[in-house]
Chain A
């Protein structure tokens, strides 16, 4: 069954620590995305990648970093520079880059809490 997997489902971080959220897809999609969702809010774009070894900042990239070494994987690191990291993080993928009229497939999300 093709899909997109995020792990872990729940993550707790102490202030000052970096944490990495995993996102893996087996859909052979070229483009991958990271969104952040705060309670009662819509999704905001953090980073996106249209191709391996390339990624671009979205609307709220400060305090986050990504890599795209493999087509299947797009991990997100929440660094200590992110002042308000507690949120629900969603990873998505699509068949082609953002130029195309393609819908997204989403993962089930990671809920990050700073303790």
Chain B
């Protein structure tokens, strides 16, 4: 019951920008989009989140379309250490309890090439 769709894998040349797309067409108006990444055998690391405006921090930029049905994570100058699985996440209703959970799909496996 994943609520996001991401490409399975992507390659990017070192030093170039990595653009990772995500579709979240069922997102509700007050739900944030979160991005995490997971390097092999480690816990996921928070990258960035946003509601409807574009966001930027020291790690990445997040571009959210005006209709909020998709977003793109941008790593401006990818390095070999950015090789990881990147997860785009929105909330999902947890059964009929009225509470929510974050669903992690299989993400995008980004490989940065030397």
Contact = CB atoms under 8 A, between A and B. Distances in A.
A103 B104 CA distance: 12
B101 to A, nearest CB: 6
Most buried by A among B31, B94, B97: B94
A56 B94 CA distance: 10
Contacts of A98: 91, 94, 99-101
Interface stretch (B36-44, B56-64, B72-80): B36-44
Interface string B58-100: 0000000000000000000000000000010001001001111
Contacts of A50: 99
Contacts of B41: 88, 109, 111
B71 to A, nearest CB: 15
Nearest to A111: B41
Contact of A42 (B49, B91, B101, B106): B106
26 contacts: A6-B43, A42-B2, A42-B106, A42-B107, A50-B99, A56-B97, A58-B94, A58-B101, A88-B41, A92-B43, A97-B99, A98-B91, A99-B98, A99-B99, A99-B100, A101-B31, A101-B32, A101-B91, A103-B34, A104-B102, A106-B36, A106-B43, A108-B43, A109-B42, A109-B43, A111-B41
Interface string A82-115: 0000001010100001110101111111010000
A59 B100 CA distance: 12
Given A90-B43, A101-B91, A104-B102, 15 more contacts: A33-B101, A41-B106, A56-B97, A56-B99, A90-B44, A92-B43, A98-B91, A98-B94, A99-B99, A101-B31, A103-B34, A103-B46, A103-B49, A105-B46, A106-B44
Nearest to B87: A42
Interface residues of B, number: 27
Measured as residues with beta carbon below 8 angstroms from the partner, the interface class of chain A is 20 to 34
A8 B39 CA distance: 19
Interface of A: 6, 33, 35, 40-43, 45, 48, 50, 56, 58, 88, 90, 92, 97-99, 101, 103-109, 111
